[in-house]
Amino acid sequence: MNDEMDIKSLTPLKNSDVPYPFLWIGTWSMAGVGYGRADERLCKKTLEIAYDFGIRHFDTANFYGRGRAEEIIAKCFSPKRTSCFISSKGGLIWQGKKVLHRGRPEDLKKQLEISLKTLKTDYLDLYQLHWSDPEVDVKESIDALRDLKKMGLIRFYGAGNLNIFHIQKAVKEKEFIPFQLPFNPLRKKNLEIFRFGKKTGRTINLSVSPFEQGLLIDPRFLEKSPGKKDIRSRNPFFKEPSLKPYINKLFSLAEKCPISTVSIIILYILGFDDIDGVIPGPRTPDQIKDIIECINLIEKNNLKKNALHGFLKGLSKGMIWNSLKRLEEISKKIPTQ
């Protein structure tokens, strides 16, 4: 592992003694709920390929498929527990078909206990507040996570989907908590939140849904809309016709390049100073192999973090970079929540 790529601000996680701190694997789509059916055998194989390659960070939530994703992680990694870095989340629960926020201290403790049981482990490396609960002071929820750490149930705590106000209120300067937000060329506006967290030493920034749930890398979604049961049918970017020609353009430029769209998007994300890591969600062996190809590319070319955007700018006489910039521009006009 190249020291330059060994992101300094991930220091709290370095104790875990694992490689590739900048790329974790997410398991939301493996739960088979929301992203359509998932084949458990292929999901397990995907995780095994990641592990065999050297990836050790795996991100999940009990909320994903009502524990289904955690069960798959347990099946793969229980026997190798201490060599893995497993992160899960609390704060969202299912009640029938409804999603409820539950961020009170007693709720978070109860949800963590369920995650520990499902993951067949007595500790988590990282436990995160998935979303803030509108009925609970966000500081109360984060304080609850600090207490769970004191109890020895989790090694680190973190959060996701907070705004600047929340971060300022609940996280101390130089506390460096892992923090998840969707980020890719279509989600550039989230950079402002990451930047605030980074500048004040409050957060270690992780880009989730880096491929915008597949839209930015899979031509299938330009031809056919996701089915009604697929959460992507509610994603405004999937419905937006003005994006399609530019995503198509990116695909056709990438075809003539020595690197894939998967690698283009990962390099784009990691090239930002304010972003420390990326969490893609592959669920088939082919998909994880695309991601491994990107890590190999970084290593083979000895690409330092501050050289990633320059590398992209050098592809296709700058046309790839221009396409990414165009996607950033168009997305500004598309309302998201």
Q: Which residues bind ligand NAP (CB under 6 A)?
A: 26-29, 35, 59, 130, 160-161, 180, 208-214, 217-218, 262, 279-283, 287, 290-291
Spell out the alpha helix ranges (H) of the chain. 11-14, 40-53, 68-77, 105-118, 138-150, 164-170, 191-199, 220-223, 244-255, 261-270, 285-300, 308-313, 319-331
Nearer to ligand NAP, 34 or 304 (CB): 34
β partners of residue 95: 98
Burial of 290-299, coded b for 16+ CB within 10 Å and e otherwise, reads bbbebbebbe
Nearer to ligand NAP, 273 or 286 (CB): 286
Nearer to ligand NAP, 111 or 161 (CB): 161
Nearer to ligand NAP, 165 or 314 (CB): 165
Q: In angstroms, what is the C-alpha Rg of the chain?
A: 19
Nearer to ligand NAP, 175 or 290 (CB): 290
In whole angstroms, the minimum distance from the beta carbon of 3 to ligand NAP comes to 26
In whole angstroms, the minimum distance from the beta carbon of 317 to ligand NAP comes to 26
Phi, psi (degrees; rounded to nearest 5) at 99 = -105, 125
Beta-carbon contacts of residue 33 (< 8 Å; ≥ 6 apart)? 64, 65, 66, 68
In whole angstroms, the minimum distance from the beta carbon of 59 to ligand NAP comes to 4
In whole angstroms, the minimum distance from the beta carbon of 75 to ligand NAP comes to 17
Residue 229 in 3-state DSSP? coil
In whole angstroms, the minimum distance from the beta carbon of 126 to ligand NAP comes to 11
Residues 274, 193: contact at Cβ < 8 Å?
no
Nearer to ligand NAP, 125 or 212 (CB): 212
In whole angstroms, the minimum distance from the beta carbon of 212 to ligand NAP comes to 6
